[in-house]
Structure 1
Amino acid sequence: MMPIPTRPPVPAWRRLHVRAAALTAPLMLLLGVCMYLLLQHFSAQNALEASQRMNLGLAQYVAAHQEPGLLDAQGHPRSDRVQELAMHVMKINPAVEVYFLDLEGRVLAHALEGLQHTDPVGASVDLRPVRQLLEAPEGDAVRLPVMGSNPLAPGQDTVFSVAPLLNADGHVGSYLYMILNSRLAQAEATSLVNSGTLQAMAVAAAAVSALAALVLWLAWHHLTRPLRRLTDELCAFRPQGSPNAITGRGDEIEVLHASVRDMQDRIVEQFRQLEDSDRQRRELVSNISHDLRTPLSNVRGYVETVMLRGDGIDVESRTRHLRTALRHADLLGKRIADLFELSKLDADRSKPQTEVFCLAELLQDVVQNYQLTAEARGVKVEFSAGSHGKARVRADIAMIERVLQNLVDNALRHTPTGGSVSLALENHGAYMEISVSDTGKGIPSEHLPHIFERYWRAADPDDGAAGASSGLGLAIVKRILDLHGSAVQVHSEPMRGTRFGFLLPQAA
């Protein structure tokens, strides 16, 4: 199992609980401000309701305790009696403003002193709230507070108390209209805005909001801990260069999403590889059966021929049959050896035993070993000019020799008479490139992706060289170079030849 990363895959400021807390804190602060404003508003409304409920019958009380003659014959209040009434009301409640309204709602008189603005006489007052209170004088059938017009501040409604005034014939001649929340009371209420109580309320609201944000942050941190642990563990299994990579904008949920997509892709790829492995296994069994049965059948056929004919076969034919049987037996042994070698390489039972050696000397030995075989085929094998310098590399000399042998065998089989096979070295700084080139028929481009597959042959079906190949040589080459951390590169042009090249690290 791969180790869990020591550093979190998601930056700390992008963590889910941090983002949730950062989002929640302003909301909690906004909620605290809204609660404070609502509390302030309903506190003011409650004060107005309490003031109106306590003084709802004040106008009725004042009107009932006045001596007759407050109104003249036209229903207008007498100025001397108005001043007397004002003094009487001021003794009861100094914050009350007293107005007299006609039956149309216009101000006939008032008991205000020291006015610095427009005189409210003649101002219009909405009578609908007045009638609403008069229909329920005790406030039992109406929901308080009932807001009425303020003659001194048109458009600013306030609480009031009202009572009808009767004229000499016993009919309603005007209304006694008392503003309960007068200018003096409003000034006192405004001064309380900056009072210690309201400041304490604001501080308390801010403290509660901050505490709630902290509690939410701790709760988010605790609740998302399993999610963070799962995200870190999944990120440990994400391959490098994943196509579902997350940028710095991702949190745990997005990382999990990308990790799950990676796992899905890897599972699908593994199932595909399992299916390919199963297919290759079936093909391998079939190919092994065919490749081992064919030379074995040939050996048996020639030997049986010699045995059945006995002394009836001449010495030359007998020798030719036995030599052919021996050649097929050698081919059978070579294919079995290749098969066992590839199986050991695939099972990682063969590990490279690296050492420093001269690569140029190894290539010269390989060229000398193939001189006779090449001459028999009419092909020239050579070590390219300019490649005789010192080339010391670090690798497993036996495995690299095996790679060169397989590449040269492959080149000789597919190079016609009169052609050539060339081995070359090229310095690439920290690496040395080894190449094997031939002047054969080349490999068609559609065949190049398959040449390293087991038992795949690039030769034409009617090419006699195909039968001498086990189909495992290039697969062994690829596996050995994989173990050395190298890769074989192939360049081929039809009717012009093929070049195989790979890199090995140079020794200091």
Structure 2
Amino acid sequence: MLNKLSLFKKLSLSALIIFLILVVGFVWISQAIESVSRAQAEQELHRDLAAHLVHDNPLISSEQLNSDTIGNLFHSMMILGANFEFYVLDNSGKIINFSAKPNEIIRKIVNLEPLNNFIQNSQQFPIYADDPRGNEGKIFSAAIIHEGDKKIGYLFVIVRSKIYDSVFNRLKNNQQLKTILLVAATSILFLFALIFLSLHFFVQPLRDLTKAINSMQQNGFKEKLSLIEVAKSSSEINILTDAFNQMIAQTNQQFDQLKLVDAERRELLTHLSHDLRTPLSSLQGFLETISLKQDQLEPKKRQEYIERSLKNAQRLKHFVDQIFELAHLESGHVSANFETFPIAEILYDLKEKFSIKVDKKKITLQVKLKNEKIQTSTDIGKLERVLNNLIENAIRHTPENGVISLELVETEINNQVQIIVRDTGIGIPEDEIPYLFDARYRGSKTAEDGERHIGLGLTITKKLLNILGSEIKVKNNDGSGASFSFQLTVI
């Protein structure tokens, strides 16, 4: 049943229960303290009562302690003071005379230790002694009865008699009823005050926060979220609101990033579709020409169209391979297989690999290094792919009679070596260098093949080096061309 209650009702109920427990506890403790204080005051007030009675009444000092005369004396005293009961005890504590009715006495012997403590003033008030007419301890006054120098007994005076207890309990019950009514009225007032304060300082701000969250949910997160504003209240609500606003700010930031990524994706798709459409259109055009005019074309012209078609098909395949490779690298599932090998070996292998291509363009490809024994530990396949992309990019942008250098340079940093691919090509505009490795980048300068190229090769190069734990850097040379460099760890 409690689970069905709202947070506000649970808080109000819990606070009311705690308040009632505190009030009842306070009343009980107050009454206990009041009872002890009253008993202490009454016993202190009647401290010398028994001693005065013994001193002022010679009959009590005689040896006829159990005579009817003393009983009548006690009866007269009770009429004058109904809140007292009088008992005469012998030296063993046995009751030998008393003011009450005989059938009301349930205890024949009284423990003398409290009486002696009272007489010797060796214990703090209130001191309680046995009640001959009941089972609860009573405050009292006591004095020793002497016959000359001989101790013959005790005068034991109960300060709160049975009659006193009866009247006091009746009045006490009335007072308790008034207290209960007062507590009930106070609780109701407290409950109303609690409801008002809870609504104002806690529940209402919480409802405002819930309303704002529901409004955001209904919005469907289709646009940027607005920060939540609630009335200043308890620090907990403010902390919760601040935390939620931080989450909203982070969500808005992610929303902006997603919009940016989506815009970049659309732009990239536009560029990709253009780069795919160009070779496809050329391929389709040449093939249609061959198909329609196959009987009219001269063998030489026909062979030219076939070679152009093949070139466009190869270009298209290369481009599609780059797209798949980039998608694979961005998937986050690519790892490096490290192995140790001499760096000079892979540089000379690449020089040999591109020898025909550079000779065709009348470009010099050279390897420059001082120490051929330098070894590194990395993924040889990915490193070869990186250098392959950089060399192809350099060949594409280097004019006839240009020079491309593959350089291996030892750095001042321990265990680090730098690989540089330097060309004497057309260089890179300084304002385009920050975007050079963006897949959407298109250079403003035309390559030596007469076409502009989308930057997938350099984008792939950067991602491969990130996997190898390195970073590519680019700068323009002092004379002409550009240099691409990265560092590897030396073994």
Normalising to structure 1: TM-score of the pair?
Answer: 0.46
Normalising to structure 2: TM-score of the pair?
Answer: 0.48
| Structure showing greater relative contact order (alpha-carbon pairs closer than 8 Å, 6 or more residues apart) | 1
